[in-house]
């Protein structure tokens, strides 16, 4: 009996450790720039975002906050720097708001230096989140290349009208990378605990 109980406890701990390891393996580089400056209110809709970098940044992940159609998985984006095309690609649907599943990140993995200058993003559809001043929301993940980590990059205000708020997903959207972007991780741990507990109870009842 003691051996059986010890085995169940060991398997429980092993399963929990393996799930925890898979969650932490989804690390992303740190966020170093955010046009919303941590804004957590309601969103309008736009297809334009403008910003200014006052230092060079080495970017690994370019991210937008976007109102996706039900079966939509990708959206095209174009970035211009100082009026010239700088980056084009396809943002892929990733981590979503826990309550409003249509509001999700759009991720584009890059490995590119963003030199200081003026930038403009255009999204193929006018469904990107716009903060109250009309500007869109983009987040850059990576490292700073030639300046102190404490320096703040500046942001220009988009010359668009204040949008009408259509929802408030940003209040529940983390501004830091998610360790568990999928929804299965923590429920799986709970199911593992419950199943092992029920097995233990069953063994005791038989004895």
pLDDT at 161 over 90: no
Q: For position 148, what pLDDT does the model report?
A: 42
For 193, how many CA atoms within 13 A lie in the half-sphere containing its CB?
Answer: 9
Closest CA to 129 of 48, 60, 74: 48
Structure tokens at 163: 């949008």
pLDDT level of residue 174 (50, 70, 90 thresholds): very low
Closest CA to 128 of 51, 36, 65: 65
The DSSP bridge pattern shows strands 138-144 and 103-114 to be: unpaired
How many Cβ atoms are within 10 Å of 111's Cβ, its own excluded? 9
Show Cβ contacts of residue 191 under 8 Å, excluding neighbours closer than 6 positions. Answer: none
pLDDT digit string, tens, across residues 49-62: 999 999 999 999 99
Closest CA to 53 of 130, 133, 145, 122: 145
pLDDT digit string, tens, across residues 113-155: 999 999 999 999 999 999 999 999 999 999 998 654 445 445 4
- E strand residue ranges, the chain: 31-34, 44-46, 48-53, 57-67, 74-81, 84-96, 103-114, 117-123, 128-130, 138-144
Determine the Cα–Cα distance for residues 117 and 152; give it in Å rounded to an integer: 14
| Beta-bridge mates of residue 144 | 57
Q: For position 175, what pLDDT does the model report?
A: 40
Closest CA to 56 of 146, 133, 123, 122: 146
Phi, then psi, of 174 in degrees rounded to 5: -65, 140
pLDDT mean across residues, the chain: 76
Q: Which of 37-46, 86-95, 186-195 has the highest mean pLDDT?
A: 86-95
Q: For position 152, what pLDDT does the model report?
A: 47
pLDDT level of residue 86 (50, 70, 90 thresholds): very high
What CATH class has 31-172? mainly beta
Domain boundaries, the chain: 31-172
% of residues, the chain, pLDDT over 70: 57
Q: For position 40, what pLDDT does the model report?
A: 82
pLDDT level of residue 10 (50, 70, 90 thresholds): very low
């Amino acid at each position: 009996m003691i051996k059986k109980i010890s085995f169940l406890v060991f398997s429980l701990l092993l399963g929990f450790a393996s799930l925890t390891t898979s969650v932490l393996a989804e690390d992303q580089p740190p966020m170093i720039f955010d046009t919303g400056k941590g804004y957590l209110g309601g969103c309008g809709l736009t297809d334009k975002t403008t910003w200014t970098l006052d230092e060079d940044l080495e970017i690994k992940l370019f991210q937008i906050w976007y109102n996706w159609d039900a079966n939509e998985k990708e959206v095209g984006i174009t970035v211009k720097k100082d009026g010239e095309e700088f980056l084009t690609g396809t943002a892929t649907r990733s981590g979503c708001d826990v309550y409003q599943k249509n509001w999700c990140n759009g991720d584009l993995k890059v490995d590119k230096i963003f030199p200081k200058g003026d930038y403009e993003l255009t999204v193929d559809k006018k469904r990107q989140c716009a903060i109250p001043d009309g500007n869109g929301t983009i987040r850059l993940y990576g490292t700073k290349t030639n300046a102190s980590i404490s320096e703040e990059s500046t942001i220009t205000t988009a010359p668009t009208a204040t949008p009408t708020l259509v929802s408030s997903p940003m209040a529940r959207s983390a501004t830091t990378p998610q360790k568990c972007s999928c929804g299965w991780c923590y429920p799986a741990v709970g199911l593992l605990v419950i199943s092992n507990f029920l097995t233990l109870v069953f063994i005791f009842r038989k004895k």
